[in-house]
Amino acid sequence: MEETTESRKKLLELQERRATILRHGGDDKVEGQHAKNKKAARERIELLLDKDSFLEYGAFVKTRSTYYGLDKMDLPTDGVVTGLGTIGGRKVAVYAQDFTILGGSLGEAHALKIARMQDLALQSGIPCIALLDSGGARIQEGIDSLDGYGRIFFRNSRSSGAIPQISLILGPTAGGAVYSPAITDFIIMTRKTSTMYITGPAVVKDVLAEDVTHEQLGGGLVHNQRSGVAHFLTADDDDAIATARELLSYIPQSFRELPPTRPTQDPVDREEESLRGLIPSDTNKPYDVKDIIAKIVDDSQFLEVHRLFAPNIVVGFSRIGGRAVGIIANQSKFMAGVLDINASDKASRFIRFCDCFNIPLLTLVDVPGYMPGTAQEHGGIIRHGAKLLYVYSEATVPKVTLILRKAYGGAYVGMCSKYLGADMVLAYPSAEIAVMGASGAAEVIFAREIKNSEDPEATRAKRIQEYKDQFSNPYRAAERGSVDDIIDPKDTRLKLAQAFAALETKREVYPEKRHGNIPL
Active site residue 501: no
**Contact (Cβ atoms closer than 8 angstroms) between residue 417 and residue 401:** yes
Catalytic residue, candidates 104, 135, 148, 175: 175
- The one catalytic residue in 176, 218, 337, 385 is 176
**Distance separating alpha carbons of residues 113 and 116, to the nearest angstrom:** 5
Per-residue CA distances from 497 to 151, 314, 318 (Å): 44, 20, 12
DSSP letter string over 245-309?
Answer: HHHHTTS-SSTTSPPPP---SS-TT---GGGGTTS-SSTTS---HHHHHHHHSGGG--EEESTTS
Catalytic residue among 410, 421, 440, 478: 410
Among the listed residues 188, 174, 176, the one whose alpha carbon sits nearest the alpha carbon of residue 224: 188
Helix locations, 395-455, DSSP H: 409-414, 438-445, 447-452
Identify the CA nearest to 506 among candidates 419, 400, 350. Answer: 400
CA distances from 202 to 78, 139, 142, 209, 213 (A): 27, 17, 21, 9, 9
C-alpha gyration radius of the chain: 27
Spell out the long-range contacts of 21-24 with Cβ–Cβ below 8 A and sequence spacing 24 or more: 21/59, 21/60, 21/76, 21/77, 23/76, 24/76, 24/98, 24/100, 24/101
Q: Is 411 annotated as catalytic?
A: yes
293, 364 Cβ separation under 8 angstroms: yes
Catalytic annotation, pick one of 329, 343, 407, 411: 411
- The Cα–Cα gap between 251 and 325 comes to 10
> Which phi and psi angles does 136 have, rounded to 5°?
110, -150
Asked if 410 is an active-site residue, the reply is: yes
Q: Which of 89, 8, 100, 96 is nearest to 59 (CA)?
A: 96
- CA angle (46, 49, 55) in 5-degree steps: 80
Query: In sequence order, what are the beta bridge partners of 233?
Result: 189
Does the annotation mark 175 as catalytic? yes
Partners of residue 187 on adjacent β-strands: 167
Residues annotated as catalytic are 175-176, 410-411
